[in-house]
Chain A
Amino acid sequence: MSSSFLSGYADEIATLTMEHLWLTGAAMLFATAIAVPTGIWLTRSSRWAKPVIGMTNVLQTIPSLAMFGFLLPLPWLGERAARIAIIALTAYALLPILRNTYAGIRAIDPTLIEVARAIGLTDTQRLFKVELPLAASFIFAGLRTATVTCIGIATIAAAVGAGGLGELIFRGVAAVDNRLVLAGAIPAALLALIADGGLGLLERRFKIPMPDGGDQ
């Protein structure tokens, strides 16, 4: 990529990167707000675990272009492309966060849960002082997978006009201009790498060494 190309597109790349971040960030926020509490609830009502996790699994299997297409004709959503993109990305982010929250809490040594009850912790205290801290590393691993997936899928959002770095990619493909494709793809890949690294750090930071030599 020549420097004149870059200087010509720098502003646009920056704007589209911010758009991309906004789409992904908003979707992650919604997905976390839905999936973490749902994951916690499933550990309390485990008969719902299979159907609910199964349902989010199905969402995950819908091809992204089809998902954007399904949402397009809906009344309120269809008015603004960003809404469609955020809803679709939220749907994709649900499964990794939900599954890891559920599995992370379920994987806690039952002795610790038993002791927490026996020494008189209320259910809320048990959740915030024992279960969530011990499952945090699992939950961050889920957030990490979800974020990286979302950053990738958000490039497709340009197909419905939601903006983001996908716009450069689509334009590049249409104009058979690899420089444009790379101008969209490289920043998107960098975003994914940065998110992966940052959340990976958090994941390791919250890993708890167990007395038996393993990790929680």
Chain B
Amino acid sequence: MSAALEFRNVTVAIGGGRRLLESVSLEVEEGTVTVILGRSGSGKTTLLRTANRMVEPTDGEIIVTRSTRDEVVALRRKMGYVIQETGLFPHFTLERNVGIVLEVQGIERQQRIERSNELLRLVGLDPEAFSGRYPHQLSGGQRQRVGLARALAANPKILLMDEPFGALDPLTRVEMQDMLLELLKHLKTTVLLVTHDLDEALYLADRIVLLSEGRMVANLARDEFPVSQIPEVLAYMRAFHRRRGGGAKRDLT
């Protein structure tokens, strides 16, 4: 296996000498799901955004499929991008929202419609009923499905997902996680996913990377994570078990 994406000593500093990321090195294997875990402000979104150069690193480099010479627009078009708020364009129908990446690449309309219908079907939305609708006519879960369809439109090798299911209710969230895993079985896309939810990380990830105050404190296979003795990982696991009721003082019976 080779790395689809490699971060080499990536540092991001902002004014006042504050560092959002501190020399992070990480190889993301092709066709795997790597989850970046960490509490708010740990730098996980910043790390994700250096991959498509939405954030330029102050130091270090990011290597995408062994090429650093891509022009930034071309690079972004090669990567799917999904965020919590979905960011669907409110003035476009779903068909145009899904096809926008192809549209800006000059792909013909008929081809775009076909691809967009295919993708809507793939994420579980009937194109007959949905392709002409607008984002405000959808539920949060449906919007997130369309967001995923859009990210997959140009057959990206890499999918960047920033808390993609964070705003969904627990049941819809589980449905979406299952759908993502099912899709990935066929697509072989490399996924870099940011979350603060360990449950989600353990369910989706092949590898889990834990960030703390801009530093990478763990980079473990999914099965190694729960048994790791790294202090930050232990703290995360303790919080996780407590939330699940393991250490709760209240007796709910």
Q: Which of A178-201 contact B (CB under 8 A)?
A: none
| A58 adjacent to chain B (CB < 8 Å) | no
* A118-B54, A119-B77 as given contacts; A208 in contact with B87, CB under 8 Å: no
Say how far B149's CB is from chain A's closest CB, in angstroms.
12
| B56 adjacent to chain A (CB < 8 Å) | no
- B135 contacts A114, CB within 8 Å? no
User: In the docked arrangement, what's the CA distance between A122 and B143, Å?
Assistant: 24
User: In the docked arrangement, what's the CA distance between A7 and B173, Å?
Assistant: 75
| A18 adjacent to chain B (CB < 8 Å) | no
Say how far A128's CB is from chain B's closest CB, in angstroms.
11
- B138 contacts A119, CB within 8 Å? no
In the complex, residue of chain A having the shortest beta-carbon distance to the beta carbon of B85: A111
| B83 adjacent to chain A (CB < 8 Å) | yes
In the complex, residue of chain B having the shortest beta-carbon distance to the beta carbon of A136: B91
Say how far A67's CB is from chain B's closest CB, in angstroms.
38
| A130 adjacent to chain B (CB < 8 Å) | yes
* A118-B54, A118-B76, A129-B100 as given contacts; A211 in contact with B87, CB under 8 Å: no
Q: Which of B79-112 contact A (CB under 8 A)?
A: 81, 83, 85-91, 100-101, 103-104
- B104 contacts A125, CB within 8 Å? yes
- B81 contacts A115, CB within 8 Å? yes
User: In the docked arrangement, what's the CA distance between A103 and B63, Å?
Assistant: 39
- A134 contacts B76, CB within 8 Å? no
In the complex, residue of chain A having the shortest beta-carbon distance to the beta carbon of B147: A115
User: In the docked arrangement, what's the CA distance between A189 and B143, Å?
Assistant: 47
In the complex, residue of chain A having the shortest beta-carbon distance to the beta carbon of B134: A209
User: In the docked arrangement, what's the CA distance between A211 and B143, Å?
Assistant: 9
Instruction: Scan B148-163; emit 1 where CB is below 8 A from any A CB, else 0.
Output: 0011000000001000
Say how far A122's CB is from chain B's closest CB, in angstroms.
6
- B54 contacts A122, CB within 8 Å? no
User: In the docked arrangement, what's the CA distance between A209 and B104, Å?
Assistant: 24
- B90 contacts A209, CB within 8 Å? yes
Say how far A205's CB is from chain B's closest CB, in angstroms.
12
- B135 contacts A119, CB within 8 Å? no
| B241 adjacent to chain A (CB < 8 Å) | no
* Contact residues on A (Cβ < 8 Å of other chain), bracket: 20 to 34
Say how far A73's CB is from chain B's closest CB, in angstroms.
49
Query: Which residues of chain B come closer than 8 Å to A44, judged between CB atoms?
Result: none
- A216 contacts B54, CB within 8 Å? no
Query: Which residues of chain A come closer than 8 Å to B52, judged between CB atoms?
Result: 118
Query: Which residues of chain A come closer than 8 Å to B91, judged between CB atoms?
Result: 133-134, 208, 216
Query: Which residues of chain A come closer than 8 Å to B134, judged between CB atoms?
Result: 209
In the complex, residue of chain B having the shortest beta-carbon distance to the beta carbon of A207: B91
Residue in contact with B104 in the complex, picked from A114, A120, A208, CB distance below 8 Å: A120
- A209 contacts B101, CB within 8 Å? no
- B73 contacts A112, CB within 8 Å? no
Query: Which residues of chain B come closer than 8 Å to A130, judged between CB atoms?
Result: 89
Query: Which residues of chain B come closer than 8 Å to A122, judged between CB atoms?
Result: 73, 104
- B87 contacts A115, CB within 8 Å? yes
Say how far A158's CB is from chain B's closest CB, in angstroms.
43
- A119 contacts B83, CB within 8 Å? no
Query: Which residues of chain A come closer than 8 Å to B75, judged between CB atoms?
Result: 120
- A112 contacts B87, CB within 8 Å? yes
In the complex, residue of chain A having the shortest beta-carbon distance to the beta carbon of B49: A118
User: In the docked arrangement, what's the CA distance between A119 and B74, Å?
Assistant: 9
In the complex, residue of chain B having the shortest beta-carbon distance to the beta carbon of A115: B87
User: In the docked arrangement, what's the CA distance between A208 and B73, Å?
Assistant: 27
Q: Which of A63-81 contact B (CB under 8 A)?
A: none
Shortest 5 CB-CB distances between A and B: which pairs? A115-B87, A120-B77, A120-B76, A118-B81, A209-B136
* Chain B interface residues toward A at CB < 8 A: 52, 54, 73-77, 81, 83, 85-91, 100-101, 103-104, 134-136, 138, 143, 150-151, 160
Known contacts A118-B81, A125-B104, A129-B103; 15 further A-B pairs (Cβ under 8 A): A111-B87, A112-B87, A114-B83, A117-B54, A117-B76, A118-B52, A118-B54, A118-B160, A119-B81, A120-B76, A121-B104, A209-B90, A209-B136, A210-B90, A216-B90
